[in-house]
Structure 1
Amino acid sequence: MSTIFFNSKAIKISVVTNGAGELQMGVVFVTPPHHPLTLIASNNQNLEVLCFEINARNNERTALAGQDNIFEQMEKVAKELAFNRPSQEVDETFGANWKKWFFKGPNQQQPGLRVKGEASNINGVTGDASVAGLLFLCFL
């Protein structure tokens, strides 16, 4: 799984060349600037995606989870207001000792890294939600 991130200027054009996940081989999709993106393979096979970025001059890629994520720059009070959780819990969830860009998918993570119960009731969606899914909903 790749970390959820967004580009400041680049438009990403992606083609699934092999494998499966939420997407199948042959699917082409475009991700505009400032729209979060993550890629998650299925449990039993790899997911190979060929990506091109256009308008990439002076682009900045910003991670929303993992090492050096954008939430590390937020003030403590802002995190608590935005997520209705203690700031330390937010730091642990989004940092979670993950690698910078790639880490285990939602089904391979420790149960403590999933958001459950009332915290996953975001934009009317209830039930279990992975951190990546939770972040995606926050930015819709």
Structure 2
Amino acid sequence: MSEGYDFREVEARWQQRWAREGTYQVNLDDPRPASYVLCMYPYPSGPAHQGHVRNYTFGDVLVRYRTMNGDAVLSPFGFDSFGLPAENAAIRGGMAPRVYTEARIGELRRSVQRLGAVYDWRRAIRSHDP
């Protein structure tokens, strides 16, 4: 591999292309065989860690495999933000739970997107939203 290889530039270019082209977005009326892949939603109670990387890599591999085999794969991402882990973290952080949770959701989303994991972010779920 060349010493001049800039993986950050390459990753950013492909991630932007996938987002622009909607590569991993699926419409419910798609005629291809349907698949649904759901990974556990994280608690927005702190920053992403290796456990998140491990979990979302498994789901990412499955989505890519099924997509390459011709399936229309619905793979939403979500945040389990309506519970004690997020509330307790907010209290420890001295912030209102909603403010703290929204900030952590933004951080987690950017971290998962940076991994290059393929989710349909149009369908993102936040359990604290009505």
Verify same fold: TM over 0.5.
Answer: no
Bigger strand share:
1
**TM category, shorter:** under 0.3
TM-score (norm 1): 0.24
Bigger helix share:
2
Which is greater in Rg?
2
